[in-house]
Amino acid sequence: MERKTKINAEDGKQDIMITREFDLPLELLFKAFEEPELVAQWMGTKVLKLECKKHGSYQFETTDNKGNKHGFNGVFHEFIPNTKIIRTFEMDSVPFGVQLEITEFEKLTDDTSKLNMHVIYESVAQRDELLKLPFAQGLNWAHNRLEELLKTLK
Amino acid sequence: MNLRRDVFQAIADPTRRAILLLVAAQSLTAGAIAANFGTARPTVSKHLQILTECELLKQEQNGREIFYHINAKNMKQVADFIEPFRKMWDDRFNVLEAVMKAYQKKNKEH
């Protein structure tokens, strides 16, 4: 199967481009970013605040499997329905700084749409750190899964 | 030599990934690296050899000891390093698609 989500991260740059095509009409894709209950469902997070308007702000909170809470927050710089969202994104209490996300919504056909997410980080080093984060987490998950597997084999 | 394939194989192993993460934080000796793992020292040595051969790690003599450090230039070329990041977004968007399809179906029925 073709990889649906594409990441373009050039060496030595402080931004990345995330693109993805959806089997969803444009309006439905956009709704997933607008309705708090829907955001909560697909992001797997608690939506504490979501003001979908220019200069509005948002606050999310996720709880990991150890019960630790992780907060995320940001401010909308632009919120144009079915077209474009510009927002900042910041994780609470971690030294990764703030990132700027420019998300564009594009209609392909009546039933399909495309998302272009341009993410700009504070520095090249910070971008690279964040890109490697799921790699490090994946390592922990792999270990945890192995442990669980071993338990079932006992 | 197909360096890319070798690099991919090198990072496919969880212990080798763990070694890379350890050494990414600071240069370490083989002994210090081995101390982090429950496996035998020769096993860790073998992993270090593979990582050095495919140029993800570099050796540096410091007095009587050899320190391993990340070959940053080569690590950046490893597109596979960001594969888990891509996978994270892909999984997330798959859920989005599923959630919205369920939402669409529910609203059509009503």
In this structure, what CATH number is given to the domain that contains residue A141? 3.30.530.20
In a mutational test of the A interface, the residue from B97, B101, B106 whose CB has the highest number of chain A CBs within 10 Å is B97
Determine the structural domain holding residue A54 and report its residue range.
5-153
Contact B107, B40 (CB under 8 A): no
Q: In this complex, do A6 and B86 lie within 8 Å of one another by their Cβ atoms?
A: yes
Q: What's the mean pLDDT when you consider all of chain A?
A: 87
**From CA B63, how far away is CA A50, in angstroms rounded?**
58
CA-based nearest residue in chain B for residue A42: B96
Residue-level pLDDT at B77: 52
Q: In this complex, do B86 and A137 lie within 8 Å of one another by their Cβ atoms?
A: no
Average pLDDT over residues A114-137: 86
**Short-list A124, A40, A54, A24, CA closest to B107:** A24
% pLDDT > 90, chain A: 59
Q: Which residues of A touch B (CB under 8 A)?
A: 3-7, 9, 11-12, 18, 20, 22-24, 28-29, 31-32, 38, 41-44, 115, 128, 130-139, 142-143, 146
Residue-level pLDDT at A118: 97
CA B78 to mean position of chain CA atoms: 10
**Short-list A73, A79, A78, A82, CA closest to A30:** A82
Under 8 Å CB pairs connecting chains A and B tally to 86
Average pLDDT over residues A117-126: 94
For residue A55, what are its two tokens? Answer: 């200069």
At residue A5, the 3 state secondary structure works out as strand
Query: Count of CB atoms within 10 A of residue B76's CB?
Result: 14
Residue-level pLDDT at A1: 40
Q: In this complex, do B84 and A4 lie within 8 Å of one another by their Cβ atoms?
A: no
Contact B19, B48 (CB under 8 A): yes
Residue-level pLDDT at A113: 96
Residues of B with Cβ-Cβ distance to A143 under 8 angstroms: 14
Residues of A with Cβ-Cβ distance to B85 under 8 angstroms: 7, 130-135
Q: In this complex, do A5 and B101 lie within 8 Å of one another by their Cβ atoms?
A: no
> Domains in chain A: how many in total?
1
pTM here is: 0.67
Residue-level pLDDT at B88: 86
pLDDT digit string, tens, across residues B12-71 = 777 887 888 788 767 889 988 888 887 778 888 999 998 888 888 889 988 889 999 887
Q: Out of A38, A42, A139, whose CB is closest to B21?
A: A139
Q: In this complex, do B85 and A142 lie within 8 Å of one another by their Cβ atoms?
A: no
For residue A75, what are its two tokens? Answer: 């401010």
**Short-list B59, B2, B70, CA closest to B29:** B59
The CA distances from residue B99 to A2, A44, A82, A84, B87, in Å, are 21, 11, 18, 21, 18
- Return the C-alpha torsion angle A90, A94, A95, A96, nearest 10: -40
Beta bridge partner(s), residue A112: none
Query: Count of CB atoms within 10 A of residue A76's CB?
Result: 18
Q: What is the ipTM of this complex?
A: 0.83
Largest CA distance in chain A: 56
pLDDT of B99 above 90? yes
Higher pLDDT, B71 or A90: A90
Beta bridge partner(s), residue B10: none
**From CA A27, how far away is CA A24, in angstroms rounded?**
8
**Short-list A118, A125, A31, CA closest to A82:** A31
